[in-house]
């Protein structure tokens, strides 16, 4: 499909192909006269460089492979979106893969990702199969794990501590005088990060208010609004006089809010609700939702920065290999 090659451009501009190649990569390193000729030739011919050939010759393609559990999840959509924009600005392409929270799937994706000799690979979280870690380490490709810190990264990591998020939610509920609380999570058998938020929550409750009741309730399916309704009902059964809940996701929290409204349970008077994610609707729902913002786009930006500095500079020094983007609790009406 590739009609015009660098050879054609070189011929028309009366220079050698390598000069054209040089011009394309470092325009300043070519004489202005030659540069102009080349530029003209490129535009009259409508030349588009073949990145596949370039990648092969340079032994590293201008591609970064991103693997997330699911792009349908607004959290990751945000990060991927930011990452894509930042990388595109530097001429890097994004190859996308979905692990669906499966380590085996992730491993397969990593394997094909590596087949592209990518400039970097970006993974979600710190939990991976041993084989995945081995493949990645052996490849020598820069890898960034995102959305989680607090373990041993394969190479670099950008994210925040999930147990700390859980603890923040717990402290907030406690500070509002709640003592009969529950954590509502979805898919925690696979979503290790949500599970960590849950255990951080439970630990903090236990540590600070040993006498408080605390339940962790899991919905095996995806984190949806509907799951929120279900979970709230189960929580009320399990914790009599429930007065506070933390949710693993704002969608779940919204579902709980709707269920409260349906059953005439006053929020926050009877039950206080804390979410996670600060999604599109969280500020506008009724009551507005107290939530924890993980800043998915900050993560995206930092990952991009790590990749970019790793590419043109030497790899960044040890100090900056793990970046904590933190989290912010945003207090609204639901507590």
Partner DNA sequence: CTGAAAGCGCTAACAG
Partner DNA sequence: CTGTTAGCGCTTTCAG
Q: Which residues bind a second copy (CB under 8 A)?
A: 1-3, 46, 48-53, 55-56, 59-61, 63, 70-72, 74, 77-78, 80-81, 84-85, 88, 91, 93-98, 109, 111-112, 114-117, 138-141, 224-226, 228-229, 251, 254-255, 258, 261-262, 280-281, 283-286
> Which among DNA, a second copy, none contacts residue 286 (Cβ within 5 to 8 A by kind)?
a second copy
- 310 binding DNA? (CB under 7 A): no
Q: CA angle at residue 52 from 46 to 57, to 5 degrees? A: 110
Query: Tokens 């600070």 appear where?
Result: 208
Q: Does 232 bind DNA (CB under 7 A)?
A: no
Q: Does 323 bind DNA (CB under 7 A)?
A: no
Please select the residue that binds DNA; options are 46, 59, 138, 284, rule is CB under 7 A. Answer: 59
Residue 43 interaction partner, one of DNA, a second copy, none, beta carbon < 5-8 Å per kind = none
In angstroms and rounded to an integer, the radius of gyration of the C-alpha atoms of the chain is: 25
Bridge partners for 64 per DSSP: 94, 120
> Prior bond to 211 cis, omega within 30?
no
Q: Which does 199 bind (CB under 5 to 8 A by kind): DNA, a second copy, none?
A: none
Does 42 interact with DNA (rule: CB under 7 A)?
A: no
Bridge partner residues of 23 (DSSP) = none
Distance CA 124, CA 186 (A): 18
Residue 286: CB minimum distance to DNA, A: 56
Helices (H), the chain: 6-13, 17-25, 32-45, 51-58, 74-88, 103-114, 130-139, 162-175, 192-208, 225-238, 250-263, 296-312
Q: What does 284 bind: DNA, a second copy, none (CB cut-off 5 to 8 Å by kind)? A: a second copy
Q: Are strands 213-219 and 291-293 parallel, antiparallel or unpaired?
A: unpaired
Separation CA 50–CA 248 (nearest Å):
45
Can you say whether residue 241 is alpha, beta or left, with left for phi > 0 and alpha for psi between -120 and 50 degrees?
left
Minimum CB distance to DNA smaller for 58 or for 286: 58
138 binds DNA (CB under 7 A): no
Output the smallest distance, CB 296 to a second copy, in A. Answer: 10
> Could you say which of a second copy, DNA, none residue 306 binds, taking C-beta under 5 to 8 angstroms by partner kind?
none
Report the C-alpha gap between 228 and 218 in whole angstroms.
Answer: 10
**Site for DNA contains 36 (CB under 7 A):** no
Restricting to residues 177-206, which ones interact with DNA according to CB under 7 A? none
3-state secondary structure of 324: strand
CA distance linking residue 10 with residue 16, whole number of Å: 5
| Chosen from DNA, a second copy, none, partner binding at 80 (C-beta under 5 to 8 Å by type) | a second copy
Contacts with DNA by CB under 7 A lie at 2, 5-7, 14-19, 21-22, 24-25, 28-31, 33-34, 49-50, 53-54, 56-59
């Amino acid at each position: 499909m590739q009609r015009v090659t660098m050879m054609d451009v070189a011929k028309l501009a009366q220079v050698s192909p390598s000069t054209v190649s040089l011009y394309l990569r470092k325009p300043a390193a070519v004489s202005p006269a030659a540069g102009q000729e080349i530029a003209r030739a490129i535009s009259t011919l409508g030349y588009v460089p073949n990145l596949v050939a370039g990648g092969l010759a340079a032994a590293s393609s201008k591609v970064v492979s991103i693997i997330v559990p699911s792009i349908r999840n607004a959290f990751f959509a945000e990060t991927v979106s930011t990452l894509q924009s930042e990388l595109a600005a530097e001429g890097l392409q994004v190859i996308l893969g979905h692990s669906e929270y499966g380590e085996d799937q992730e491993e397969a994706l990593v394997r094909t990702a590596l087949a592209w000799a990518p400039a970097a690979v970006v993974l979600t979280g710190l939990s991976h199969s041993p084989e995945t870690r081995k493949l990645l380490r052996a490849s020598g490709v820069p890898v960034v794990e995102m959305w989680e810190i607090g373990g041993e990264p394969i190479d670099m990591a950008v994210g925040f501590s999930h147990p700390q998020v859980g603890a923040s939610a717990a402290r907030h509920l406690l500070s509002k005088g709640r003592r009969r609380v529950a954590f509502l999570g979805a898919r925690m058998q696979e979503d290790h990060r949500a599970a960590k938020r849950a255990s951080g929550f439970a630990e903090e409750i236990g540590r600070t208010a040993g006498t408080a009741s605390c339940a962790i309730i899991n919905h095996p399916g995806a984190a949806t609004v509907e799951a929120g309704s279900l979970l709230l009902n189960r929580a009320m059964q399990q914790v009599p006089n429930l007065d506070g809940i933390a949710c693993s996701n704002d969608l779940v929290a919204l579902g709980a809010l709707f269920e409260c409204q349906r059953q005439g349970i006053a929020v926050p008077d009877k039950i206080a609700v804390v979410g996670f994610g600060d999604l599109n609707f969280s500020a506008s729902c009724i009551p507005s939702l107290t939530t924890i913002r993980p800043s998915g786009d900050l993560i995206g930006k930092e990952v991009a920065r790590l990749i970019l500095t790793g590419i043109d500079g030497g790899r960044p020094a040890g100090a900056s290999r793990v970046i904590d983007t933190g989290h912010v609790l945003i207090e609204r009406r639901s507590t």
